[in-house]
Each structure stands twice: as structure tokens, then as C-alpha cells.
Amino acid sequence: MGRNYIILIIVAVALAIGILFMDKTGKSAEVDTTTTEASITDAVIDPSRFLTVDEVTKRIIQNDPGIILIDLRPEDQYKSFSLPGAINLPIDSLLANSSQQLLDIPGMDKVLFSDSYTAPYKVLQFCEKQQIKSVFILEGGINEWRSQIVDLKEPTQSAPQEEIDNYSLRLGANQYFYGKKDEASTGKKDLKLNRPMPAIRTKTKAKAGGGC
């Protein structure tokens, strides 16, 4: 057996002995059980906790007063791009009183999003523990919003009807939020959609006069 083999064996034995005598008692006390994968999965296993980009888009366009969009990414990312009207709540500030008050506003649907599911999962699980209701996750997060609304792509002629219908809504949303010109109306391209673009219902701006 070569010298290298013997050195490797000595290192492996030393590491194995190190593992045997590893004191995990201190560490296990520090481990926050709320971040284990199993607990995260349990909290978000309910599909009704997810709202699609289309559902959220409709509610924003309709000026639905019962929805709050919460961007969980760091402040610099939030400032560079976010959903219209979203409030920034970086995951680090979750334990602050103001954050909990925001999440606990009664009668409002809080829609969480980030650029992955980890932060929304953690916040949702936190809300479960605090018994905070009406908290949802935006399906696909900000990346899905970007691909469906901002970088909208025209469906092919052979695309299913549902996709064409969704495209109409998304095109409307794109114009509504970002003012992108409709290619069909500018004559650049004939979209030949099977259905006319649905009218987007927007709330008339009435002065708040109290009452219901």
C-alpha cells in the first residue's frame, strides 16, 4: 500500500473519531426548528395558500382594497424592481413589531413574494405559529411576475385557448402597469387572437365618504 493511501487512511480515521466526539448538544439548542425543511413543508402544503400571478394581477387592477403585496427581498433589490404597490419587508426584520403588525392587519389578504420560495415559506410558517390568518404566497414569486407580465411573450397561433385568454389579460396588465404599447393596435403585428381582449374593470376614483 502506498504512502498516500496510508496518509488518507489516517486522515479519514481522525475525521471519523472527530465525528464520534462531536458535541452537538450546544448546537441543537441553537437550531431554530422553524427553519427545518419538514416544518416549512407542513406549513405550505395547502395549495390554497398560493395565488397565481393572474389572480393577483386582476386584484391589483381592480384596486382591490383587501390585498397587501409584501416583498420579502432585501431593500436594494426591492428598490430596483418590485410589484406595483408592494411593501418591502426584508426577512431579517420579521421579528420587528411593525412587521408583525403589518402581517396581522385584519381583513386583508397578505400576499408574500420573493425570488424563491424559501423566504415566503418561512414567513408563512411564522404566521402559522402566531396564528396570523389570510397570508398567501405569490406562485412563482417575482420571477413569475417578470416573465408573465413584464417580459410578456406572445402565444403562438397553435397555443391553447386558455393561454391566449391569459395573454390578453397579461397584455392589458402590461399596458396598465408599464405602459407598453399594444402591438396589435399600433399595426406592427396582427395578433389574430380568437377572442377580443377582455375589458379591465377599474374602480372609479370616488372620494372616501365614509360608510360601508
Partner 1 sequence: MIAPLIPLEQIPETWNNVIALLLGMGFGFTLESSGFSSSRKIMGTFFGYDFVVLKVFFTAAITAMTGIIYFDYMGWMDASLLFINPYYVYSAILGGLIMGAGFSLGGFCPGTSFCGAAIGKIDGLLFTLGLFLGVFAFSEMYGLFEGIYNSYNLGDSKIYELIGMKDSVFAALLIFAAIAMFVGSSWVEKKVQKVNY
Query: Cell match 386558455: residue?
Result: 162
The site map against partner 1 for 117-156 (x = CB under 8 A) is: xxx-----------------------x-------------
Stretch that binds partner 1, among 58-66, 112-120, 159-167, 197-205 (CB under 8 A): 112-120
The C-alpha cell at 133 is 390568518
**What is the DSSP code (8-state) at residue 102?**
H
Minimum CB separation of residue 12 from partner 1 in Å reads 5
159's enclosing H/E stretch is none
- 70 neighbors 113 (Cβ within 8 angstroms): yes
- 53 neighbors 148 (Cβ within 8 angstroms): yes
Minimum CB separation of residue 152 from partner 1 in Å reads 18
- CA dist 50 and 65 (Å) reads 19
Q: Does 76 bind partner 1 (CB under 8 A)?
A: no
Stretch that binds partner 1, among 56-64, 104-112, 115-123, 187-195 (CB under 8 A): 115-123
Query: Cell match 396582427: residue?
Result: 190
Footprint on this chain of partner 1 (rule: CB under 8 A) = 1, 5, 9, 12-13, 15-20, 22, 24, 27, 31, 35-38, 114-119, 143
